[in-house]
Amino acid sequence: MPGISKSQRLLTKRDFDATLDTQRNGTGVKIVCRDFVLVASPPVPDRPARLGLIVSGKVGNSVVRNRVKRCVREYFRNELVSEKPLIGCNLVVIARPTLVNQEGRVKDDIQGSLKLCVDRLLHKLSAASKTRP
């Protein structure tokens, strides 16, 4: 199964900082959920949606962190690449430690939790695009 192409990834610190700064200066959208924080920048025409992941050591060991990243990338590749409100946006997904249960195992329904957050983000993005001139 092919992964996400380079053009669909945030690769540099500058890309991440620019996306996170759009939320701070009010042009971007931020959604805080139980298991994830999503930050999206305003869309740029003629560019695909790009994904950046932040999964800190607080989430778990390397096995857990990599599983979370694989699940998020798979969801992005299968579900989000073609979503109209996200085309041209930079999307940063920050995993929270609540993704891991008391035994140190990743929850079974990572993608379900991510879907709830993404639905809220898409709703907020579509509302924001209607208010922009």
Which distant-in-sequence residues (6+ apart) come within 8 Å of 120 by Cβ?
31, 33
Q: Helices 110-131 and 62-75: crossing angle, nearest 10°?
A: 50
107 assigned to some structural domain? yes
Domain housing 59: 6-131
110 assigned to some structural domain? yes
Pairing between strand 50-54 and 29-32?
unpaired
80 assigned to some structural domain? yes
How many domains are there within the chain? 1
d(CA 125, CA 129): 6
**What is the average per-residue pLDDT within 121-126?**
84
Q: 78-122 pLDDT, tens per residue? A: 887 667 777 888 899 999 998 887 676 777 788 888 889 988 988
pTM over the 0.75 mark:
yes
1 assigned to some structural domain? no
Whether 27 contacts 42, CB under 8 Å: yes
Domain CATH code at residue 101: 3.30.230.10
12 assigned to some structural domain? yes
46 assigned to some structural domain? yes
Confidence label for 1 from pLDDT (cuts 50, 70 and 90): very low
Q: 52-88 pLDDT, tens per residue? A: 999 999 998 899 999 999 988 888 888 876 677 778 8
pLDDT of the residue at 132: 58
